[in-house]
Structure 1
């Protein structure tokens, strides 16, 4: 270890905003001529840190040239707070995670942090704390910035000093287990305190569990504290509700209602039809380009070969800073493709769409009136308006096609009920056979009578 007794400690520097209010304080000092600094949210914290440095220097203690701290502090410095650990975990996962996964990690860590705060009565307000956490967990937003934005600086500095130590999870007499249970309870609830959706809870628990495994990997914990808690996992709805699936007559009514929504609706008729006839995910339709249409004959089946998708994650979580980022197909290796048949009715819609509106500069088929991407806000508005006009009052009040993704569910259900083999449907839809049969088990109709007849023949006297 490179140590030195040559220590020079300077006065505290106070940083103020335009209104003259102190926003942060900096302690500066030198060890063997190497300048060092540490920022604090309050004068009191900065003064305490400086006093401890001065006391160690007066006692003639050796200072570590690399860290600038007295060597005697080494053991304490190795103990991480939850906040410092969570930043380390988010950064470690960033490079290999998709934008939506990054956002999911941030959401889980933000909720978990709320269960691990100290002295909340003197904390910045909750919305400010959560905003500071979202900023902190985005590598792209923080890249190259030493300080958070002025509006978040106070909350960020408060969080640095007011979350539990990681060692608190290993406290004896059940204290660590109580802390872990409180964390699980928090991620099982919404921000308003209501019970969260089962899928949301499961996703956040998976993230926090993975974080604890990472803590063991880096030596911050000796065991996973979540495994010491007997926690009942919420039951997940694994299959599609048959009530959301529309039939071909309802689909045609919906497409007609979409088309009646002026030019914007006309631009979206084939957009929604790609989900219903070809089981495309919304992010796959957004990325659909002319080059993907391998064949588009008149009055016959065609073929599309998908290569990419553009899921919406938000600019905070993409590497490019755009709301959407082009990626490989879901559940497939980069560079892999997926072939999907084009129903003759869909083929006619696609040809009419391209003839009337053309394509974007990059060959993109579905673009806005001004040449931009087809945004969620735009197509969701048209979707709900057309649904209201196309359906009867009873249908509109039911779960029938409540969201655009239900159009994809209808496509897969139609293929299965038409007798197409499960492996073929799975290939077209981009699923594994196991997932396909589990998710769409309740949507396969018309086979009960035949099954009961076979049982009757096998068991009658």
Structure 2
């Protein structure tokens, strides 16, 4: 039986030990209610009922719900919902974020499959989900290989209902599946937390669609793995080691081919300017002021992060974006010391720029691939460092040059606010990450305490 005789009452707080709120309404003279943990969730649910009533939807007198909300959760599978969520997130997400969403949705989908006859091999399922299902254009908008089409057809039939996530045991099983890699070993803590964030965000979207009253994943008592956010002091190179490494880069690949020589300035920007690799790759001659003597400046506004072609709108390996975690139009002015000014002037005199003005290019004039400069860096380490040091974590990755720069500035006594501004970080993040890399601060603190106590003796 259907009815338009609907009256939606307000939200009231229940008189219980644990705070909860009721939404009450009547349909055809029958009273219905739903209970929520917070007033915000209750208000949100009431607003959805009001929208349906104002739109003239018929309400079911058995369930009390409008047609658009009746049995939606039971009728939608996780896989169908995941495709809908991806289509909503993809247009506004950065390429690396798209990759992360894809990875999390693939893992969750694998954990939410029922046993059905004809199950393809796990590696076939993962490849079909990773490379064809959770990318745009989606599987319904392009021609699929037969094996992929068959695998995704099986997934669509075997996927559990989205509503199963309301069962705590199912939600915990999905979260626990994030903790393991394909070989059964423990996954990195940051990877696990990133997948959980995506799942939580996806289910928030399900709440917005009326699939759940509240997010069941956030209600679970699940211990998040701890993530080490501090920089390992062992990776930090001192100025002498950094200079030796930069000199060694110029010897990689021979003089004529210049595999290393054309990248000396790239690594120097990471060390002397504390630039991120993607910021260096986006740096153009027009962004620089390089006087004949003294300090210069670099105006950062463009990055070229390295991602897979399938994640970018342009189909290029390197995306073209603004600064990390900043509005597209935001700029960052970084003073650069005379040592870097000299290196960049020499680089321009020797190699010129790409057609679009970028400083650093591959041998063919394209954007330098991260794999290319990583290989050069590894060869330079073996040239510059003694075997025992080369086997250590010291400057093991090019990014460690940025860590070395910021640690050096902080140890030199530069105000953390100034360091954070040049690095493009907040002061809190800066000090939290580099606390263990600041030498001598304990001795200074001890001396100040001792001097204070002596005054009262």
Is the aligned partner of 1:127 residue 2:133? no
The answer to whether the Cα contact below 8 Å between 1:135 and 1:142 also exists between their aligned partners in 2 is no
Per the alignment, residue 236 of structure 1 pairs with 227
Secondary structure, aligned partner of 1:225? coil
Corresponding residue number in structure 1 for 2:391? 397
Q: Which sits farther off after the overlay, 214-223 or 321-330?
A: 214-223
Residue 365 of structure 1, CA deviation: 0.6
Contact 2:72-2:211 within 8 A present in 1 as well: no
* Structure 1 residues 374 and 234, CA gap change in structure 2 (3 angstroms): same
Mapping for residues 430-441 of structure 1, pairs under 5 Å:
430-441=424-435
- 1:289 aligns with 284
Native 8 Å contact 2:246 2:268 kept in 1: yes
Residue 374 (structure 2) pairs with residue 383 (structure 1): no
Q: Deviations over 1:333-380 (max 9, x none)?
A: 111111111111111111111111111100011011221211112111
Query: Are 1:114 and 2:105 counterparts?
Result: no
Match of 1:308 in 2: 302
Report the counterpart of residue 355 of structure 1 in structure 2. Answer: 349
In the TM superposition, what is the alpha-carbon distance from 1:279 to its structure 2 partner?
0.7
Question: Structure 1 326/246 Cα, relative in aligned 2: closer, same or farther at 3 Å?
Answer: same
The structure 1 residue matched to 2:94, chosen from 74, 98, 106, is 98
C-alpha distance in structure 1 between counterparts of 2:438 and 2:143, whole Å: 56
How far 1:128 sits from its partner (Å)?
1.3
Tell me, what secondary structure is at the counterpart of 2:334?
strand
Give the distance between the partners of 1:80 and 1:277, measured in 2 at CA. 54
- 2:47 maps to none
Q: Which residue does 1:330 correspond to in 2? A: 324
- Hey, what's the Cα distance between the residues in 1 that align with 2:139 and 2:292? 52
Q: Helix, strand or coil for the counterpart of 1:227? A: coil
TM-score, length basis structure 1: 0.80
What is aligned with 1:177? Answer: 168
Mapped to 2, the partners of 1:311 and 1:375 lie a distance apart of 10
1:370 aligned residue: 364
Contact 2:73 2:211 in 1 (8 A): no
Range with greater deviation from structure 2 (116-125 or 282-291): 116-125
CA shift in 2, pair 1:185/1:127, >3 Å: same
Residue ranges of structure 2 left out of the alignment (5+ in a row): 1-66
Task: Report the counterpart of residue 168 of structure 1 in structure 2.
Answer: 164
Q: Which moved more, 1:218-227 or 1:334-343?
A: 218-227
SS at match of 1:304: strand
- CA distance in 2: counterparts of 1:322 and 1:142, whole angstroms: 19
Instruction: Quote the offset at 1:441 in angstroms.
Output: 1.2
The count of residues paired between Structure 1 and Structure 2 equals 383
State the Cα deviation string for residues 294-350 of structure 1 (Å, max 9, x = none): x10123110010111011121111111111111110122111111111111111111
Distance (Å, rounded) in 2 between the aligned partners of 1:117 and 1:143: 18
Matched, 1:87 2:78: no
CA distance in 1, matches of 2:347, 2:176: 50
Q: What is the RMSD computed on CA atoms of the aligned residues?
A: 1.8
2:194 is aligned with 1:199:
no
In the TM superposition, 1:127-276 aligns within 5 A as 127-142=123-138, 145-170=141-166, 176-261=167-252, 262=254, 263-276=258-271
Query: Any conservation in 1 of the 2:133–2:152 contact (CA below 8 Å)?
Result: no
Aligned-residue offset at 1:227: 2.8
- Report the TM-score when normalising by structure 2: 0.80
C-alpha distance in structure 1 between counterparts of 2:182 and 2:117, whole Å: 18
